[in-house]
C-alpha cells in the first residue's frame, strides 16, 4: 500500500473528535465488510467443490462419445463392425452397445414419474 492509501484509510477509520459513536459506527461497518467477505469466500469455495463433484457424477453417467445413424429411429442395425472399429482406436478404454428407452413409473393412483431406461450388454466389458 502506498502512503496516500494508508493516510486516507487512517483518516476515515479514526475520528478526530472524541466521539465514541463515530468510532463504534466505523467498527461496525468494518466488521460487517469483514464478515461479508469471509462469507463470500466460504460460499465460493463450497460452490466450487459442488460444481466439481457434480461434473464428475455427470461424466460417469454419460459417455464421452455416442455413435448413431441418421434417419428414422436413429437405430444402428449393423453395430458389430462399428463396435470393433471403435475398440481398435488408440485411447479407447471401453466401448459397448446400449439401448435407451423412455417410460412412465407409477405408484398408486396419484403418483407418476417419467423414467429413462438404459440397457447395456453385461458381457461387453464396459
Q: Residue 98: CB partners within 8 Å, gap ≥ 6?
A: 118, 119, 120, 121
69, 75 contact by CB (below 8 A): yes
Helix or strand (DSSP H, E) at 100: strand 98-107
pLDDT band of residue 34 (cuts 50, 70, 90) is very high
User: What pLDDT is stored for residue 10 in this prediction?
Assistant: 78
What does the pLDDT look like over 37-72, one tens digit per residue?
999 999 999 999 898 888 887 777 677 777 777 766
- Give mean pLDDT, residues 8-29: 74
Domain ranges of the chain: 3-60, 68-124
Residue 90 has, within 13 A of its CA and on its CB side, a CA count of 0
Residue 25 sits at φ, ψ, to 5 deg, of: -65, -40
State the Cα–Cα distance between residues 57 and 46, nearest whole angstrom. 17
pLDDT band of residue 3 (cuts 50, 70, 90) is very high
- Give mean pLDDT, residues 75-82: 78
Of the candidates 92, 67, 70, the one whose C-alpha atom is nearest the C-alpha of residue 82 is 67
Amino acid at each position: 500500500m502506498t502512503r496516500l492509501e494508508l493516510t486516507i484509510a487512517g483518516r476515515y477509520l479514526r475520528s478526530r473528535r472524541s466521539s465514541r459513536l463515530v468510532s463504534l459506527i466505523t467498527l461496525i461497518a468494518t466488521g460487517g465488510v469483514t464478515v461479508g467477505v469471509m462469507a463470500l469466500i466460504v460460499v465460493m469455495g463450497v460452490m466450487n467443490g459442488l460444481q466439481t463433484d457434480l461434473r464428475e457424477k455427470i461424466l460417469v453417467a454419460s459417455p464421452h462419445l455416442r455413435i448413431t445413424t441418421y434417419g428414422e429411429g436413429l437405430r444402428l442395425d449393423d453395430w458389430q463392425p462399428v463396435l470393433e472399429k471403435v475398440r481398435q482406436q488408440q485411447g479407447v478404454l471401453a466401448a459397448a452397445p446400449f439401448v435407451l428407452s423412455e417410460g412412465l413409473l407409477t405408484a398408486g393412483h396419484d403418483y407418476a414419474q417419467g423414467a429413462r431406461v438404459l440397457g447395456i450388454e453385461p458381457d461387453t466389458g464396459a
